[in-house]
Amino acid sequence: MGKIHILPENLANKIAAGEVVQRPESVVKELLENSIDAKSTKIDLLIKKSGKSLIQVLDNGEGMSEEDAIISIQKHATSKITTFEDLDAIQTLGFRGEALSSIGAVSQLEIRTERKDDELGNLVRIEDSGRIHFEKGSFPKGTSIVVKNLFYNVPARRNFLKSDATEMKHIADTFNKISLSHPEIATRFFIEDDITLDYPSSGIEERISKVFGEHTLKSLVKIEESLDIIKIHGYIGKPSLLKKKKGEQYLFINKRFVISNQVNHAVYTAYENILEKGDYPFFILFLDLDPSKIDINVHPTKLEVRFENERDIYSFVLASVKRGLNSYDLVPNISLGVGNNLLDTRTGFRNAINVERNDYGDRPSFVRPPAPSTRISDKDIEAVFSSIGQNVDRSSIPESAPGPFDVIFPVDHNRVYTGSPTSQVARPLLPDESDDISFLVQLHNKYILTPIRSGLMIIDQHVAHERILYEKALDLMESSIQLSQQLLFPKTLQVNPGIYMTLKEIVEPLQKLGFELNLLGKNTIAIQGVPQDINSTDEESLLIGIVEEYIQNQRVKKITDNRDNIAKSFSCKTAIKAGDILNDKEMRILIDQLFATSMPYVCPHGRPVIIKISIDEFDHRFGRT
């Protein structure tokens, strides 16, 4: 007997089901899409035990006849396409005919369906033995599909599922994506028989407000452009919605949520003058294309898409997003020249401006004094800059000293000068060991600059504060003392189910950090107090941001130490940000606290906190070596 044989059908189905049904969220996605294809106007989703115990989708769609109900659970059974040519013009969300068959292979599946004009409906159930049970009955108009004990017959697959909180977050994300793509459909989400999300039929703006909150809608820029072959509409986020993680980029092509690296790159490129390294913009974009110009049959999950004219799509999205950003003055407009023909214009440089003595830069509207008649020789320059290490004689500083720090260094009378006394050139203060004078400069409200003996030290204010708060958070979680500032009026909010379940897991260490929280059930929490050092007036966004960062660290960065993860998430979201203005006292306190930490040179995520530029490097750059 040969070694090669045909697999039994039930085993082959279990293997093939892995491409379509990877986790409970996969089942939810397929069933919700089938309900939309059935022209439903109301869809309910019920979840128990994060989908491992029960997933049920009820709709008021067209329903199925007896024959269709029985055939629907067979492999490659579909009502969406009949010929090869139909693949070139897919108009529905489902079409492969694999969903119900794959789900039935790894769960206990039951279908109850009844058409509007039928007196009786149909019940189809797949028994544990694989036998199909059928009976007639009276059911609500539409279709109800129940999926019980997912992966009960594939224990290895079930063991690889993530925590209940993670699986619930995936389900909630998919529910929200599908709700966004079809705001005209009323959708409801039940968890353990309690209604969690309730989105009535509405327009897209109302649906965005329901899903993300009104504060998000106020921070969006509307996009709407149209050509003969493509249309785009939707919303892009203002800089206030930039985040340090992916996950809030929503692209829908012909109302189907997809992932497209080309479109994402086009959007990121449009933001190039706004984004910093590691930033990701928020957007909800809808592209309407001729179905024959795209291929969504790339993978059974139908998340990937290929375009016939990728370059044209890229250019169109890039131009549309840029136009939207420019309309709100978020990106500087650059004038390339005079006239309407851009091809005839050229960018260029302004003529060089001579920088005279005591001139500290090209400040706007600055009237420069006429150039002195006496030329400063190379020996003069060498004489002045060679005295860097000397102390400042404050008594010799004139009251009218110009420049940023109003300091003019005295002439060294022990040296021989070939030029005139006007050679006393102003320069920045750089103290040596015996100096008690120092200055701090905040550069672009991001970096703190201060002189040191060997040159210049530059500190990233955000990651420096992160390091301080990280070590403080670790100490607080070890301590039995809880320091909190009470809110005058407690704030109650409803959160994503995944956020709520994660909060239940980490509420104790958060309380040690200073948060006073009450979990009220039904994904509702009350914030009664926050840590003492928190100055934010948006406590809700701060708390949700910490939890989202915690989940991101678990999923992407694979941080398994909960205590370390909470400290990192807390420090990241509560630290001062790039753009925050600090006064001299605040900068000095920040530096003192930084160097009191155990590791002042690296932030909790591994980024450098400090860099130094030596005097030798400056000399080299200015051609003095």
Residue 500 is inside which H or E element, if any?
A: helix 497-513
Positions of CATH 3.30.230.10 in the chain = 219-327
pLDDT score of 353: 34
CA-wise closest residue to 404 among 438, 353, 441, 453: 441
Q: Which residue has the higher pLDDT, 503 or 18?
A: 503
| Cα–Cα separations (whole angstroms), residue 334 to 133, 187, 325, 326, 345 | 70, 46, 13, 11, 12
The residues, ordered by sequence, that sit 6+ positions from 556 with a Cβ below 8 Å of its Cβ are 245
CA atoms within 13 A on the CB side of 534: 26
Which residue matches tokens 């990937």?
Answer: 304
Tens-place pLDDT, residues 584-597: 889 999 988 988 88
pLDDT for the residue numbered 270:
86
Is residue 61 within 8 Å of 40, Cβ to Cβ? Answer: yes
**366, two tokens:** 């600055």
Residue pair 145/30 in contact by the 8 Å Cβ criterion: no
Residue 404: predicted pLDDT = 33
Q: How are the residues of the chain apportioned to helix, strand and coil, as percentages rounded to the nearest 5?
A: 35, 20, 45
Class of domain 219-327: alpha beta
Instruction: Label residue 555 by pLDDT band (50, 70, 90).
Output: confident
Most confident of 54-58, 149-153, 273-277: 54-58
Identify the top-confidence range among 64-78, 107-121, 330-344. 107-121
Residue 267: partners with Cβ closer than 8 Å, 6 or more residues away: 236, 249, 281, 283, 285, 317, 318, 321
How far is residue 286's CA from residue 307's CA, in Å, rounded to a whole number? 15
Of residues 461 and 12, more confidence is placed in: 461
Task: Answer for the pair 509, 602: CB distance below 8 angstroms, yes or no.
Answer: no
Contact 93, 37 (CB under 8 A): yes
Cβ distance 461 to 576 under 8 Å? yes
Q: Residue 436 pLDDT > 60, yes or no?
A: no
- Confidence grade of residue 39 (pLDDT, cut at 50, 70, 90): very high
Q: What is the secondary structure of 453-472 as a DSSP string?
A: TTEEEEEEHHHHHHHHHHHH
Average of per-residue pLDDT values in the chain = 77
pLDDT at 393 > cutoff 80: no
CB of 18 closer than 8 Å to CB of 158: no
Q: 């709709």: which residue's tokens?
A: 59
Residue with tokens 């969690």: 196
Buried (b) or exposed (e) across 312-333, using 16+ Cβ within 10 A? Answer: ebbebbbebbbebbeeeeebee
Token readout for 396 is 């010799």
CA distance 285 to 122: 39
User: CATH 3.30.565.10 spans which residues of the chain?
Assistant: 9-202
* Whole-angstrom distance, CA of residue 67 vs CA of residue 31: 20
Task: Average the pLDDT over 456-484 and give the result.
Answer: 88
- The pLDDT value recorded for residue 91 is 63
Q: Which of 116, 100, 112 is nearest to 40 (CA)?
A: 116
Higher pLDDT: 202 or 339? It is 202
- Give the tokens for residue 319: 């131009």
Best CA proximity match to 527, nearest among 567, 541, 509, 481:
541
Strands 194-199 and 108-114: unpaired
Confidence grade of residue 416 (pLDDT, cut at 50, 70, 90):
very low
Pick 567 or 273 by higher pLDDT.
567
Strand partners, 227: none
pLDDT in tens, 301-348: 667 778 888 888 999 999 999 888 877 644 333 333 444 443 343 333
Residue closest to 288 by CA, chosen among 261, 321, 255: 255
Residue 212 has pLDDT above 70, yes or no: yes
Confidence of residue 214 (pLDDT cuts 50, 70, 90): confident
Structure tokens at 543: 């708390």
Tell me the average pLDDT across 425-454: 65
Question: At residue 4, does pLDDT exceed 80?
Answer: no
DSSP string, 218-277: TTEEEEEEE-SSEEEEEEEE-GGG-BSSS--EEEEETTEEEB-HHHHHHHHHHTTTTPPT
Structure tokens at 429: 């203060």
Reported confidence tier of residue 243, pLDDT bands at 50, 70, 90:
confident
Residue 11, exposed/middle/buried by CB under 10 A (0-12, 13-18, 19+)?
exposed
pLDDT above 90: residue 87 = no
Q: Which residue has the higher pLDDT, 447 or 21?
A: 447
Give residue 523's pLDDT band: very low, low, confident or very high (50, 70, 90). Answer: confident
pLDDT of residue 73 exceeding 90, the answer is: no
Q: How many residues does the structure list for the chain?
A: 625
Average pLDDT of the segment spanning 443-464: 89
What is the pLDDT, as a whole number, of residue 521?
85
CA distances from 411 to 99, 417, 430 (A): 85, 9, 16
CA distances from 213 to 216, 262, 293, 359, 397 (A): 6, 29, 35, 51, 58
Residue 268 half-sphere exposure, CB side, CA atoms within 13 Å? 15
Distances (CA, A) of 450 to 592, 609, 612: 13, 14, 10
Look up residue 468 and give its amino acid. I
**pLDDT at residue 331, as a whole number:** 36
The confidence score (pLDDT) of residue 398 equals 39
Residue 354: what pLDDT? Answer: 38
Which pLDDT score, from 0 to 100, does residue 198 have? Answer: 94
**Res. 499: pLDDT tops 60:** yes
The answer to whether the CB of 112 falls within 8 A of the CB of 99 is no
Q: Which fold has domain 459-611?
A: Ribosomal Protein S8; Chain: A, domain 1 (3.30.1370)
- Residue 4 makes CB contacts below 8 A (sequence gap 6+) with none
* E strand segments, 304-377: 306-307
- In this predicted model, which residue has the larger pLDDT, 555 or 14? 555
- Top-level CATH class of 9-202? alpha beta
Cβ–Cβ under 8 Å, residues 254 and 291 = yes
